[in-house]
Chains A and B, each alone.
Chain A
Amino acid sequence: MTLQISETAPPRAEKTRRKAPKVPLREQLIGWLFIGPFGVVFLAFLVAPLVYALYLSLFRKALIGGTSFVLLDNYTKAFTDPSFLDGAWFVIRFSLVLIPVQMLISLAMALILDIVTSAFARFSRLMIFLPYAIPAVIGALMWGFLYSKNFGPLGDIFGLFGASAPDFLSNDLIFYGLLNIVTWQWAGYYMIILYAALQGIDPTLYEAARIDGASTWQITLRIKIPLITPALLLILVFALIGTLQFFNEPKILRDLAAGAIGPDFTPNMYAYQQAFGLANFNYGSAISFALGGVVFVCVYVFLFATRKRGSFLS
């Protein structure tokens, strides 16, 4: 199983090119028939909405004068709109802190679980993965309860030490409150991906390294981590795409954290508010499209920059 598309693709591509006229039409047709159903869904629910969003974003609806073509006005507006910019800045800051923390935790857990093979470790592996099966809405609610002054345990726990509990739903700490929720939700899933990659490493490599006098620590740093780089890059991309479109958790916590989370907290929440709160579909579409475009470009640039390390575009 490999991610290296380019390593296998070029020879095949050459073959295709040389044989291109020889591939019988019937085989080509059957190939397209297999792709067809997905192709239809792809065109209808990915390409069409994207094109439509782009189209809508070029217009503006006014109470007087109706809908008018404004070209890029909506985008100029978005990229000078403090609500959009603050939201975008928040998710960028959030990703910059979240992704390293989350990756370190999931990598550490995967490495530990790769070494320790007790029944307890197997049980832990499953339990750490469990939050992945929890809807983000419910996960946010659960932590919202734990943070809450009304029914959370933080007051009691900090009370034992005579301290007052930190309020993770307040303006100052909501960043960390959300950071904790997202880490809790996804670290287990990433851990499983990394763990599976570690299990795929040929154990004779470790034996050989040990004979050469390598310590467990050296084996970890010099063999294990370099060999699972493709898996690390994969989860990094997942985390980046997921975080930039942050919506569910802040939306749910908004009701509990009065004041700390505005309706324009993240770009997605802002787009939602514009479209469904204010019926401003043109501007909402522009924000959606801008967000999608920014995420796409960020991830693409990242994958391009790391292609030598075996990411899935390589």
Chain B
Amino acid sequence: MTAHIDVASRRRRPQRYLPLQVLLGFLLVYFLVPFWWVVVNSSKDAAGLFGGGNALWFSDNVDFIGNLQELFTHSGGIYARWLLNSTLYAVVGGVGATALAVLAGYGFAKYRFAGRRFSFAVLLGAVMVPATALVIPTFIMFSRLGLTNTIWAVILPSLLNPFGVYLMHVYVRDAVPDELLDAARVDGAGEVRSFLQVALPLMRPAMVTVLLLSIVATWNNYFLPLAMLSDNDLYPVTVGIGQWQGIASANNSGGTSLWSIIIMGSLVSVIPLIIAFLTLQRHWRGGLAIGSLK
């Protein structure tokens, strides 16, 4: 859009705004302090954690490897299992939700059918329903069906992403011209083919964004799996670490050794999404603006 023109016109101006840059520096420290604390303290053993040393600097005994080993061997390596579960839920739930949003967004934007305006109004209303209000009734429904405490209890509700449909709709409406689709039809392409070969490639930026948003939402979800799952082996990493933390806080003296693996576990659990965001930067940066531009 206009972004690169914008930058170019500004590049002519010399580096300045020093006070603002300093302010940014302070903000940066604030936003990074928790990460720094976790990195530093995941290298400490119980003695280093509780010994009263500097909380924001390494102790004499830097032992990342030891803590990592302990993390992945504690309770028979359950942590690796949690990571795998989180990945499974996030990928299946995220890809599924995105696929549904792509289809529905395209349908809303490019077809006229009876009940379209009504359904779209309902969809917008659904964006405003808090997801957590659905957890308890969904749990009771699933328990009737025998679905609680299975992977489906977490995956199926994650497929619902009304905001994703809304984003896809807004994007398709503007980025996929009707003329192009008509031209494809005139050339003899069926509806499916014009969707797959003409529209879909144009929808990629919005697709990546909706995919990332859905994956983050599922990976970070806590209430839903906490309510649905009772089997340790099915927990995602959020519920697992939450459980460890409960145990460690409950027996304040005996649980001290658990703290170092909780800290290491927190660090390891945030790495996949951080990598995903840093590597996919180009794709989501523009996409996050969909739905907020005039």
Which A residues contact B (CB, under 8 angstroms)? Answer: 1-4, 8-9, 13, 16, 19-20, 23, 27-35, 37-39, 41-42, 44-46, 48-50, 52-53, 56, 109, 112-113, 115-118, 120-121, 124, 126-139, 141-143, 145-146, 150-153, 156, 184, 188, 192-194, 196-197, 199-203, 207, 227-228, 230-231, 234-235, 237, 241, 244-245, 247-248, 251-252, 255-256, 258, 268, 271-272, 275-276, 281, 284-285, 288-289, 291-292, 295-296, 299-300, 303, 310, 312-313
Contacts and interface: CB of A to CB of B under 8 A. Distances in A.
Given A38-B104, A128-B27, A275-B139, A299 B292 contact: no
B129 A296 contact: yes
| Interface of chain B, main secondary structure | helix
Nearest to B278: A126
Contacts of A126: 278, 281
Nearest to B6: A203
Contact of A38 (B101, B110, B114): B101
A117 B16 CA distance: 10
B112 A23 contact: yes
26 contacts: A1-B289, A1-B293, A2-B294, A27-B111, A34-B106, A38-B104, A50-B137, A53-B137, A116-B17, A117-B10, A121-B21, A126-B278, A127-B28, A130-B31, A133-B273, A133-B276, A137-B238, A141-B245, A151-B259, A196-B289, A196-B293, A200-B3, A255-B250, A275-B136, A288-B137, A292-B129
B293 A2 contact: yes
Interface in B83-141: 99-101, 103-104, 106-108, 110-114, 116-117, 119, 123-126, 128-141
Contacts of B110: 31
Nearest to A37: B100
Interface of B: 1-3, 5-7, 9-11, 15, 17, 20-21, 23-25, 27-28, 30-35, 37-38, 41, 49-50, 54-56, 99-101, 103-104, 106-108, 110-114, 116-117, 119, 123-126, 128-141, 156-157, 159-160, 162, 165-166, 170-171, 173-174, 191, 195, 216, 219-220, 222-223, 227, 237-239, 241-242, 245-246, 249-250, 259, 262-263, 266, 269-270, 273-274, 276-278, 281, 285-286, 288-294
A151 B55 contact: yes
Given A142-B266, A184-B34, A268-B132, A135 B223 contact: no
Most chain A beta-carbon contacts within 10 A, residue among B55, B171, B173: B55
Contacts of B27: 109, 124, 128
B112 A31 contact: yes
A295 B130 contact: yes
B130 A241 contact: yes
Nearest to A200: B293
A224 to B, nearest CB: 12
Contact of B270 (A127, A133, A227): A133
B245 A50 contact: no
A184 B24 contact: no
A38 B167 CA distance: 14
A29 B113 CA distance: 7
Given A124-B24, A128-B28, A312 B34 contact: no
B54 A268 contact: no
Given A32-B113, A151-B41, A313-B124, A112 B137 contact: no
Nearest to B15: A118
B134 A132 contact: no
Given A146-B34, A288-B135, A34 B50 contact: no
Contacts of B223: 247-248, 268, 272
A178 to B, nearest CB: 14
A3 B292 contact: yes
A144 to B, nearest CB: 8
A309 B219 CA distance: 34
Contacts of B156: 41, 44-45
Nearest to B175: A1
B34 A115 contact: no
Which 8 interchain pairs have the tightest Cβ spacing? A34-B107, A31-B111, A196-B289, A292-B133, A38-B104, A53-B137, A31-B113, A231-B292
A45 B159 contact: yes
Contacts of B269: 135, 138
